[in-house]
């Protein structure tokens, strides 16, 4: 149903789908401006995507139900949520696809926000690539939605990444997303 709405009403355009590895753990890293964002990503892929979603959403009756059946799992944003980190790393190590929004919240202006270090930390811990995804036009009810999938970014091979390494990787993935957004116009 959601896929049909995206195709017919929102004139959905997905590019770069081939950049997502067909197997093995992968961390999808996308910008976030709308509640449509996870739906757009999930509908575009042939692999299941397990999104890390803010815990408050699981308390909303219909939304919480949809999140649970889609395989999403909660993350508490008010502190370092070790349970959510363990869940994400376990899924990645099992060869699954995990989706995150490194900005930590939706951007009200559409401008990219400074990323948190969590996405880079997860990719480093699980030793999986980060795949940048640019979501364009997801705000509102009408208008064209574009999803552009960038080339995978391979995480550091070291045992433990430093804060500087995580900042560098976080900035790199967001720079790629910004570049894809800019070049899509």
> Residue 7 pLDDT more than 70?
yes
Closest CA to 145 of 20, 9, 46, 35: 9
User: What is the arithmetic mean of pLDDT over 88-115?
Assistant: 96
Q: Where are the domains positioned within the chain?
A: 6-183
> Residue 92 pLDDT more than 80?
yes
- CB of 96 closer than 8 Å to CB of 89: no
Reported as a single tens digit per residue, the pLDDT across 31-46 is: 999 988 999 999 999 8
What the block records as the tokens of 52 is 């890390």
Share of the chain above pLDDT 70, in %: 98
| Residue showing tokens 């949809």 | 66
DSSP H stretches of helix in the chain: 2-8, 36-44, 61-70, 82-93, 118-126, 163-183
Q: CA 60 to CA 100: how far, in whole Å?
A: 20
pLDDT band at 49 (very low <50, low <70, confident <90, very high): very high
Q: CA 9 to CA 63: how far, in whole Å?
A: 22
What the block records as the tokens of 59 is 């308390």
CATH for 6-183, options being 3.40.1130.10, 3.40.50.1370, 3.40.50.2020, 3.65.10.10: 3.40.1130.10
pLDDT band at 1 (very low <50, low <70, confident <90, very high): confident
Reported as a single tens digit per residue, the pLDDT across 110-167 is: 899 999 999 999 999 999 999 999 999 999 888 999 999 999 999 766 567 899 999 9
Q: CA 106 to CA 35: how far, in whole Å?
A: 8
- CB of 25 closer than 8 Å to CB of 126: yes
> Residue 26 pLDDT more than 70?
yes
What Rg, from alpha-carbon coordinates, does the chain have?
15
The pLDDT value recorded for residue 159 is: 62
Reported as a single tens digit per residue, the pLDDT across 60-89 is: 999 899 999 999 999 998 888 999 999 999
Q: What is the pTM of this model?
A: 0.94
């Amino acid at each position: 149903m959601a896929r049909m709405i995206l195709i017919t009403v929102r004139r959905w355009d997905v590019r770069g789908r081939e950049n997502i590895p067909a197997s093995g753990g992968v961390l999808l890293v996308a910008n976030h401006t709308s509640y449509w964002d996870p739906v757009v990503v999930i509908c575009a892929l042939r692999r299941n995507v397990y999104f890390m979603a803010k815990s408050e959403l699981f308390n909303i009756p219909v939304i919480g139900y949809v999140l649970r059946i889609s395989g999403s799992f909660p993350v508490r944003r008010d502190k370092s949520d070790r349970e959510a980190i363990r869940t994400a790393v376990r899924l990645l190590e099992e060869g699954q696809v995990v989706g995150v929004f490194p900005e930590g919240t939706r951007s009200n202006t559409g401008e990219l926000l400074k990323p948190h270090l969590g996405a880079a930390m997860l990719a480093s811990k699980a030793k999986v690539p980060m795949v940048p995804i640019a979501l364009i036009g997801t705000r509102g009810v009408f208008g064209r939605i574009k999803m552009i999938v960038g080339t995978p970014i391979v995480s550091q091979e070291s045992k433990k990444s430093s804060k500087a390494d995580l900042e560098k990787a976080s900035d790199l993935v967001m720079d790629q997303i910004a570049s894809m957004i800019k070049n899509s116009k």
